[in-house]
Amino acid sequence: MFISSAFAQTAPAAAAAGGDMMSSITGMLPLILMFVVLYFVMIRPQMKKQKEHRAMIDALAKGDEVATTGGLLGKVTKLGDGFVSLEIANGVEVQLQRSAVVQVMPKGTVK
């Protein structure tokens, strides 16, 4: 009698194993959906912004007027592999990393 009730208890569990797989996939669906939304809302735009910044830094040329992360405005006087020399006033030059350049300003901004 005890053995037959044990088999009886496992029979529905074995029959529901296929449904159990569906419930686990359904349980993970919100997590997968959140990751997809996170990718399109945060990760993809950030990668696009980094790509545009890298292209802007690679396109720097002598004579460009730029703004830096520190708030300096200046004119590019020398370009190196990893640095830029900016003239921020007459006779005053500073060297910065290329990555510190945030924006190329329109001509005539720096006087």
pLDDT tens digits for range 53-101: 999 999 999 999 999 999 999 999 999 999 999 999 999 999 999 999 9
* Token pair recorded at residue 47: 């990668």
Rg, the chain, Cα only: 31
- Domain map of the chain by residue range? 2-55, 62-105
Structure confidence at residue 23 (pLDDT): 83
What 3-state class would DSSP assign to 94? strand
Q: In this structure, which amino acid lies at residue 21?
A: M
How many C-beta atoms surround the C-beta of residue 76 within 10 A? 19
The Cα–Cα gap between 101 and 59 comes to 12
What CATH number does domain 62-105 carry, 2.60.40, 2.30.30, 1.10.10, 1.10.287? 2.30.30
pLDDT digits (tens, 9 = 90+) for 11-66: 555 555 556 778 888 889 999 999 999 999 999 999 999 999 999 999 999 999 99
